[in-house]
Amino acid sequence: MDIAEFARRIPKAELHLHLEGTLEPELKLALAHRNNIPLTETTAEEVRDTYTFTDLSSFLAVYYPSMEVLQTEDDFFDLAMAYLNRASAQGVRHVEMFFDPQSHTSRGVQFSTVIRGYRRALITARRSFAIQGELIMCFLRDMDPSFAMATLMEALPHRDWIIGVGLDSDERGNPPAKFAAVMARARAEGFLVTVHCDIDQQDSAEHIRQAIHELQVDRIDHGTNIVEDRRLLREAKSRGLGLTVCPLSNGFVSDAMKTDEIMQLFDAGLLVSINSDDPAYFGGYIGDNYAALAKAADLTREQLTRFARNSFESSWLSPRIRDHFL
Ligand code: ES4
Ligand code: ZN
């Protein structure tokens, strides 16, 4: 078995995956057809051609309008099932999946429609594909914190199905501290907390500092710019904070995969895991991300095994179940 095959097969947890980022061109077309939504593109190739971007804003400008095809509970179910099927084929045994309720409720789709579809997929996939998972509700940081708070309130009847909350979308001018009150309330309601600290943002280290000190996060999504601040790095390590990095995504929203930074953090002993972010848009699922980093950093099987182990160690599984995977 070559290293790429090993990378795809090794049992792993996925901790940084946006369900809405798993919308493959073929499914987008099928859902548009089913819901009578006109699209300018008529073939999967044409849709794929629109999936091109050079930075985060040009990505988000394609990403949000694509979601229009997601309308019914079955649509959300089909989206999540397609992902869970593929993830299972690339070694994922446990997944903590982000979803963006505001990107649906803001266009008239009910919160309960979204979560019912995703929840049913998780139950079905556990039986069909031997993969289990949890949902993490993300707030859109480029919208007002009062909308995030209202969304948190709307989620409370579904709290048993949401393990934690996250913060995503456009980070420019939207630091973690802006959402400190929402995140404090979420924590008081029993949710775990994670926050995107995207690569190469302005004030990256300051955003990471706010996430750790002011939001008391349980994990950080991306966060590779922590290499710039030795004190923060030491603190993240001593707190056992996981960093969920996404090599292929990095290559799209920046000019590089950030191999050196990822390996520096990994070698320093932080709980760095490899993840896919938005696999339908960034050219690969999680195993492909393991394989891409293995190639770029010339990783050994032992190192890949350590990355996979990190993914379970920094997951939000209960210790008893986590131990079963380690
Ligand atoms: C995202 Cl790559 C990225 N960055 C920020 N927010 C996001 N939501 C989905 N993908
Ligand atoms: Zn992300």
Domain annotation covers residue 321: no
Q: What is the pLDDT of residue 78?
A: 98
Q: How many domains does the structure of the chain reveal? A: 1
The Cα–Cα gap between 161 and 253 comes to 31
The answer, yes or no, to whether residue 46 has pLDDT greater than 90, is yes
Query: What CATH number corresponds to the domain at position 107?
Result: 3.20.20.140
Q: What is the pLDDT of residue 288?
A: 98
Mutate to test the pocket of ligand 1, among 19, 56, 167 (most ligand atoms within 8 A of CB): 56
Domain annotation covers residue 216: yes
Given pLDDT bands bounded at 50, 70 and 90, which one contains residue 254?
Answer: confident
Tell me the helix, strand and coil percentages in the chain, rounded to 5: 55, 15, 30
Q: What is the domain extent for residue 210?
A: 3-316
Domain annotation covers residue 7: yes
Domain annotation covers residue 324: no
The Cα–Cα gap between 271 and 275 comes to 13
Given pLDDT bands bounded at 50, 70 and 90, which one contains residue 253?
Answer: confident
Given pLDDT bands bounded at 50, 70 and 90, which one contains residue 255?
Answer: confident
Domain annotation covers residue 154: yes
Question: Considering every ligand atom, which ligand is closest to the CA of 138?
Answer: 1
Question: Higher-confidence residue: 253 or 168?
Answer: 168
Contact 127, 156 (CB under 8 A): no
* Buried residues in 124-144 as b, exposed as e (16+ CB within 10 A): ebeeebebbbbbbbbbbbebe
pLDDT in tens, 80-123: 999 999 999 999 999 999 999 999 999 999 999 999 999 999 99
Ligand 2 center from residue 26 Cα (angstroms): 22
Q: What is the pLDDT of residue 199?
A: 94
Domain annotation covers residue 243: yes
How far apart are the two ends of the chain, measured CA to CA in Å?
22
Question: Higher-confidence residue: 28 or 255?
Answer: 28
Domain annotation covers residue 322: no
pLDDT in tens, 126-179: 999 999 999 999 999 999 999 999 999 999 999 999 999 999 999 999 999 999
Q: Does ipTM surpass 0.95 in this model? A: yes
Domain annotation covers residue 277: yes
